[in-house]
Structure formats: structure tokens, C-alpha cells
Amino acid sequence: MVAKARKGAVARKIRFTERRDAWLRHHKMLAVDSLVQMLRKPLSSMLTWLVIAIALSLPALMYLFLLNIQSLVEPMHEGAQLTVYLEKSVSDKAGMDLAGDLNLRPEIFVADFISARQGLDEFRVYSGLNDVIDSLDSNPLPGVILVQPLNDDLIAVESLKILLESLPNVTEVQLDLIWVQRINQMSQLAKSLVGFLSVLFSMAVLLVVGNTIRLAIESRKQEILVVKLVGGTDAFVRRPFLYMGFWFGLAGGLVAWLFISICYFILRDPAEKLFQSLGDQYHLISLNLTGVLLLLFASVFISLLGSVVAVGRHIKAIEPT
Amino acid sequence: MIEFEQVSKKYASGHEALSNLSFSLDNGEMAFLTGHSGAGKSTLLKLIANIERCTTGQVRVAGQLLNRMPAYQIPFFRRQLGVVFQNHHLLMDRTVYDNVALPLIIEGERPKDIGRRVRAALDKVGLLNRENYRPVMLSGGEQQRVGIARAVVTKPKLLLADEPTGNLDPLLSREIMNLFADFNRVGTTVLIASHDLALIARMPFRVMTLKEGQMIRTGKERTHGG
């Protein structure tokens, strides 16, 4: 009895491994088979690759463009600074004390007092208007405190500005580099736009692959019928089309990468020249390894999803009658 | 092997293809199913292969009740049958070898077993030298034999054939029928729908006759005194 049961268990185990091996064998065969079939009709397959590649490289390029703009703006952004103009009656000592007080505030990174005299000296060096300045009866400049906020974000800086304006002896607070903030805001906006467009283009890829798979299913309807008649399961019938979607995605992703690389090589020289004129620390950002892998993964994932949808909708409908 | 109990089949169009039909076919038996076109032969075969479902009654094949078989089980059920179709249902863009190998690939056989069994089946139907041809390059009789090789390559217990000699000349038809008789000799249950009465009459097997959806002869009657 026990021996019999054990024999049954062994038999079941063998059956299971056999089935798993058969399953793996079929996958391996189909992976190669569907690739060969796709490459055998390069012209029609290539159209699909191109559509996928264009739809994916557009948002990817826009994203890279944004990254580059941000890399240009970000270092400037770090220098966001407030200039606090004091009343002329404020003595150097009082100004220094105020700067000292401001330095203790948590939202302020550093506050430097520049006396009216220092200011005039700097102006003299900077402007070269020695004679004019010498001819003045008194120093027209007020004392100034330069404040660097700890937090660069616009709202924090704005509220700091209001706070500083409310201090006694302060005539005016000027927010420098506001245009950097504006660019930053715009790039945030552009980021959302690129995100939205990426979703749209991904949907386009999904539909294109879905439609290609639908046509493939349609053209192999007879084969599907025969396979179902001789005992093929839905999963068996589905498999080649899913592999097809996988290969389309991979090929489309690779072509998209090619497009992006071509674009990079065309733009590299002029862009590098422009960047170098801005400073040594700037370099053109291209797709790194992670970016390439992400692009390929996205392409494969979206295509596979498209084929899953198409296969789910159309294969069940094909039944022998 | 096959058991019909008061089976009726009514299509959505309202046409009643089979009405209140009962018969059974034993294990290892071979029988012909005849009748005019439209008598319900094809419908009967479709019920056995679970391509259609009966409206009322019970259909039992190889011990399984087909009436309520869930969809996921149907493919595994069909693997127990070999079916030869009137219009062959061959894959025209594949070789003869690939066509015959299809059921074995679906079953997940090992590649080396597939080669051996496909060649054995092709040898049996006399097409061993055609394995790399495509079906379009073959004559109608040869295509039919490819279909038969595909039906028997899995060594099914039950072999169904729908007008297997449909467009063939008498000599070829006779050859094909002899082929089925050979399979029956080694234990396969065989059911063949055919209207080739002259040919059927010359073979020593049970004949069932359908007329307007009813079985007017089950071939079990002893009235003929055979």
C-alpha cells in the first residue's frame, strides 16, 4: 500500500517535471521561432519598430533636454540671495548687530553686513567712476545686509523677504536671481508636460503593438483554429504572440536608443561649445546605462502589455465551429 | 467509448440538427456514419469532439461527460482524440513534418521522440519521402493522408473522420478506408462519417444511418441477417 502510494507520488513528480520541461522547451522554441519570423519579414516588422522608436525617443529626448537645462540653471539657483537695504541713519555697529541677529535665525544660512563705506569702495572698484564718487559730498549708499537663505525654494524665500521687510530700520528688500526661480518653475511645468506626453506616447505604442498583434492573429486565424482543434490550450496559442510583442518592444527600444544616440552625436559639438562658454562645470548630459535600460524596459513592458491586451481580446473569439 | 443519450442539438437559428438521438460505440469498434448531406453527420462528430454542445441529453466520450466540461479542460480532452477533417485543416505554410508534429509539440513531447513518432506516422500513410514538402505541393489524396498522419501520431484511443474520402477517386478512397481499418485492427476505436455508400457496403463494419437528425439505423439491428 505504502509502496504503491510512493510509486504514485514518484509518477506524479515525473509527470510534473516532464510537463515543466515541455513548457520550458516550448518557450525556448517560441522565443527563437518568433524572433526568426519577425526577422524574416524585416520590412513590415521594421515599420512597427520605427513607430515604437519614434514614439519613445520623442519624450526621452525632451526629458534629456530638460535635464540639460536644469543642470545649467541649478548651480545659479543655489546663489539665491536677498539684499536688505538699511536706513541711512543706522550705524555700522547697529547694522553689524542686526546681521548677527539674522545669522541666528534657522531659515538663514548666512547674513553679511556691508557698511556704507565698504559699499562705496566696492562700487568705486567695480564701476571705475572714481572722479564722480570723489566729488560727492556724502556717501549716497546705505548700509546693506546680504542674506543667503538656507532653503532655496521660492515660497520660503518670499516669506523670508516679507519677514525681513517688516524689520525696523529696513527700507527695502530685494530678491536677486528671481529669473532663476522663474526658469525653475517653468522647468517644473515642462517636466509635467513631458510626463503627460510620455503617457500619451506610451499609449500610442500600446495601440500600435496591439494593432500589429491583432493583424498577426487575424492572418494566422486558420493556424489558431487548427491548433485549438488538435488540443492546443489558449495559453499555447497565446504564447507566440506574446513573444512577438516582446521582440517588437525590444527592437523598438533599441531603435529608439539609436535615434537618441544619433541626436546626441549631431548636437554634441555645438552644445559643448555653448556649455563651455558658460563655465567648465557644464557638460552635455546624455542617456546613461540606467537610462538605456529603463528605455528598453519601458519599451518591452509597454509592447508586452499591448500584446497581452490584443491577445486577450482576439484569441478567445477564435473557436472552431 | 462513445455514448449518446437522447441527444438533441438545436442551433441558434432554430434549426434542429439532431433530435432525440441515442446510440453507443464500444471500445475498439469501427463504424460508419452515413446519411444525406444535412442529415446531421457533421453535427454529431462536432458533439463528440466537443466543438459543439448538445442542447439536451447527454454525450459521454471516453468516460467523460461533455455537457458541462469547463472550457479549460476541452483542449486536454481533444488530445485524446484524433480527428480527420473533410477540408484537411492543414497549415499551408508549414512542411508536412511540421503539420504532423503539431499535436506532439502541443503535448510537450521530447524533440527526439517527436522525430521518431512523426516518421512512424508518415511511414504508415506512405508519405515518408514527403516530409519536407508543403501541403500545397501535394495532391488531394496526399493531403488527406497528411491529415490522417496528424490524427494518429498521438496514438489516440478514438479516431474520428468527417468525409475523409470526399473528393478522392474510388481507388484512393479504398486505400484511405483500408488505412482506417488498419488502425482499428490495433485497437483504435474508429468512427467515419461518409456518404460513399458503395465503398461502405464493401467493408465489414457497422453502419449507422442518419436522416433529418434522427438515427434510422444504428447498425446493431439483426434484420439484415449478416
For residues A46 and A44, give the distance between their C-alpha atoms in angstroms, rounded to a whole number.
Answer: 5
Domain identity same for A229 and A151: no
Nearest residue to A256 via CA among A195, A311, A191, A204: A204
Task: Show the domain range for A69.
Answer: 26-75+182-314
Q: Do A230 and B150 touch (CB under 8 A)?
A: yes
Neighbours of A188 (CB within 10 A): 12
Nearest C-alpha of chain B: how many angstroms from A320? 6
C-alpha cell at position A237 = 496559442
Residue A170 within any structural domain of the chain: yes
Domain identity same for A205 and A303: yes
Give every CB contact of residue B161 below 8 A, 6+ residues apart in sequence: B83, B84, B148, B151, B180, B190, B191, B192, B193, B194
Residue indicated by cell numbers 471500445: B27
Between chain A and chain B, the number of residue pairs with CB atoms below 8 A apart is: 60
How is chain A split among helix, strand and coil, in percent rounded to 5?
75, 5, 20
Residue A266 within any structural domain of the chain: yes
Residue A7 within any structural domain of the chain: no
Domain boundary among A126, A152, A176: A176
Give every CB contact of residue A17 below 8 A, 6+ residues apart in sequence: none
B73 CB near a chain A CB, below 8 Å? no
Domain identity same for A165 and A190: no
Residue A205 within any structural domain of the chain: yes
Domain identity same for A186 and A106: no
pLDDT, tens digit (0-9, with 9 covering 90-100), for A98-145: 888 888 888 888 888 888 888 888 888 777 777 787 888 788 888 888
Domain identity same for A169 and A283: no
Domain boundary among A142, A176, A210: A176
B49 CB near a chain A CB, below 8 Å? yes
Order the strands of the B2-10 sheet from edge to edge: B16-25, B2-10, B56-61, B64-65
B53 CB near a chain A CB, below 8 Å? no
Domain identity same for A136 and A170: yes
**Distance between alpha carbon B20 and the CA centroid of its chain, in Å?**
22
Domain identity same for A187 and A242: yes
pLDDT, tens digit (0-9, with 9 covering 90-100), for A228-270: 999 988 888 999 899 999 999 999 999 999 999 999 999 888 8
Give every CB contact of residue B162 below 8 A, 6+ residues apart in sequence: B41, B42, B45, B83, B84, B85, B86, B193
Residue A81 scores a pLDDT above 90 = no
Contact in structure between B196 and B165 (CB atoms under 8 Å): yes
Write the ipTM: 0.88
What is the pTM for the complete model shown? 0.72
C-alpha cell at position A88 = 541711512
Domain identity same for A152 and A224: no
B207 CB near a chain A CB, below 8 Å? no
Please compute the mean of the pLDDT values over residues A299-308 and round it to a whole number. Answer: 95
Contacts of A26 in chain B (CB under 8 A): 105, 108
DSSP B156-169: -SEEEEESTTTT--
For residues B194 and B190, give the distance between their C-alpha atoms in angstroms, rounded to a whole number.
Answer: 13
Nearest residue to A99 via CA among A170, A177, A166, A176: A170
Q: pLDDT at position B82, please?
A: 92
Domain identity same for A221 and A296: yes
Where does A166-233 have alpha helices with state H?
178-219, 221-229
Domain identity same for A34 and A107: no
What's the count of helices (H) and strands (E) in chain B, helices before strands? 7, 10
DSSP A12-74: HHHHHHHHHHHHHHHHHHHHHHHHHHHHHSHHHHHHHHHHHHHHHHHHHHHHHHHHHHHHHHH
Give every CB contact of residue A231 below 8 A, 6+ residues apart in sequence: B75, B76, B77, B78, B79, B103, B106, B107
pLDDT, tens digit (0-9, with 9 covering 90-100), for A25-63: 888 888 888 888 888 878 878 888 999 999 999 999 998
For chain A, state the CA radius of gyration. Answer: 34
The larger pLDDT score, comparing residue B119 to residue A318, is at B119
Residue A8 within any structural domain of the chain: no
Contacts of A223 in chain B (CB under 8 A): 91
For residues B41 and B18, give the distance between their C-alpha atoms in angstroms, rounded to a whole number.
Answer: 9
**Residue type at A165 in one-letter notation:** E
User: Among all residues of chain B, which has the CA nearest to that of A29?
Assistant: B105
Residue A166 within any structural domain of the chain: yes
Q: Do B83 and A229 touch (CB under 8 A)?
A: yes
pLDDT band for position B224 (cuts 50, 70, 90)? very low
Nearest C-alpha of chain B: how many angstroms from A6? 25
Provide the 8-state DSSP code for B213.
Answer: T
Domain identity same for A258 and A288: yes
List, in sequence order, every residue forming a beta bridge with B64; answer none if it has no partner.
B61
User: What is the dihedral angle through the alpha carbons of A238, A244, A249, A254, rounded to the nearest 10 degrees?
Assistant: 160
Domain boundary among A176, A211, A243: A176
Residue A319 within any structural domain of the chain: no
Option in A18, A230, A234 nearest B103 (CB): A230
Contacts of B150 in chain A (CB under 8 A): 230
For residue A156, the domain's CATH number is 3.30.70.3040
Residue A3 within any structural domain of the chain: no
Neighbours of B132 (CB within 10 A): 10
Number of folded domains that form chain A: 2
Phi, psi of B195 (to 5 degrees): -110, 15
Residue B34 scores a pLDDT above 80 = yes
For residues B91 and B102, give the distance between their C-alpha atoms in angstroms, rounded to a whole number.
Answer: 10
Domain identity same for A261 and A150: no
pLDDT, tens digit (0-9, with 9 covering 90-100), for B70-127: 988 999 999 999 999 888 889 988 899 999 999 999 988 888 889 999 999 999 888 9
Q: Do B102 and A230 touch (CB under 8 A)?
A: yes
For residues B192 and B48, give the distance between their C-alpha atoms in angstroms, rounded to a whole number.
Answer: 12
